[in-house]
Amino acid sequence: MDASEHLHIVVMGVSGSGKTSLAALLSEQLGWPYAEADEFHPAENIAKMSAGHALTDEDRWPWLNEIRDWMTSNSEQGTGTIVTCSALKHVYRNLLREAQGRVVFVHVKAPAEVIKDRLNHREGHFMPPSLLPSQFATLEELSTDEDGFNIDNNTTPADLAHRTLVALGLANGGEGTTR
C-alpha cells in the first residue's frame, strides 16, 4: 500500500471540547497510533501557556511541523494515525494537510459554558481556563476546501466515537486507508 493512501484523523477543537476522550476511543477501536498534540509542544510553549499567555503563530509553527512529520512518518511505516490538535486556524490545518496521506479534521464542538466547566474541574493540565476565550477568538470554522466535519459533543464518548466512525465510513473498523 502506498503511503499516500493512509488516513490521518485530526481531532480538533478548543481545549476541553472532548478531543482526548474521542481520540482515545477511536485509537482503541481502529488500532491506529494515537498522539496528543500537547506531547509535541516544546517546553517554552508549555511554560508560556501555564503562565496564562496565549501562543502566537510563531510559537505554533514548529509544533505543527512536528505533528505533520509524525503523521508522515507513520504513513511511511504503513499506518494511518489519530492525533488531537486544537488546529484553530485554517493556515494551521493547511500545514497539517501537508502530511503524507489523507488528513481529515473532526471538529469536536460543545457550548462554551460546558467547556469552561470542564476546564475548571480538569486536573493536571497546563492549559488554564483563562485562555479559553482566546481559543474561541482564534478558532476558524472548517471551510468547504477542507476535508472534515463538525461533531457535537452532546452524548456519551462511546456514541460520539461511533458517530465519528460512521461519518468517516469506518464504522466496521478500518485499515488506515482512504476509501
What residues contact residue 64 under an 8 Å CB cut-off, 6+ apart? 85, 92, 95, 96
Do residues 106 and 100 make contact, with C-beta atoms less than 8 angstroms apart? no
Residue 121 pLDDT: 66
Separation CA 85–CA 152 (nearest Å) = 17
Separation CA 140–CA 13 (nearest Å) = 10
Kindly provide the b/e burial profile for residues 161-175, where b requires at least 16 CB atoms within 10 angstroms of the residue's own CB.
Answer: bebbbeebebeeebb
Q: Which domain holds residue 35?
A: 3-168
Q: How many structural domains are present in the chain?
A: 1
Closest CA to 176 of 79, 82, 96, 105: 79
Kindly provide the b/e burial profile for residues 63-87, where b requires at least 16 CB atoms within 10 angstroms of the residue's own CB.
Answer: bbebbbebbbebbeeebbbbbbbbb
Do residues 13 and 19 make contact, with C-beta atoms less than 8 angstroms apart? yes
Is residue 129 situated within a structural domain? yes
Is residue 178 situated within a structural domain? no
Is residue 174 situated within a structural domain? no
Is residue 176 situated within a structural domain? no
**Residue 48 grid cell:** 508560556
**Residue 164 grid cell:** 465519528
CA angle 111, 40, 16 (to 5 degrees): 15
36 forms beta bridges with: 84
Is residue 118 situated within a structural domain? yes
Low-confidence ranges of the chain (pLDDT < 70): 1-4, 120-131, 173-179
Do residues 136 and 112 make contact, with C-beta atoms less than 8 angstroms apart? yes
Any idea what the CATH number is for the domain that residue 154 is in? 3.40.50.300
CA 26 to chain centroid, in Å, comes to 12
Residue 53 pLDDT: 81
Is residue 9 situated within a structural domain? yes
Residue 49 pLDDT: 78
Is residue 51 situated within a structural domain? yes
Residue 50 pLDDT: 78
Residue 130 pLDDT: 66
Is residue 175 situated within a structural domain? no
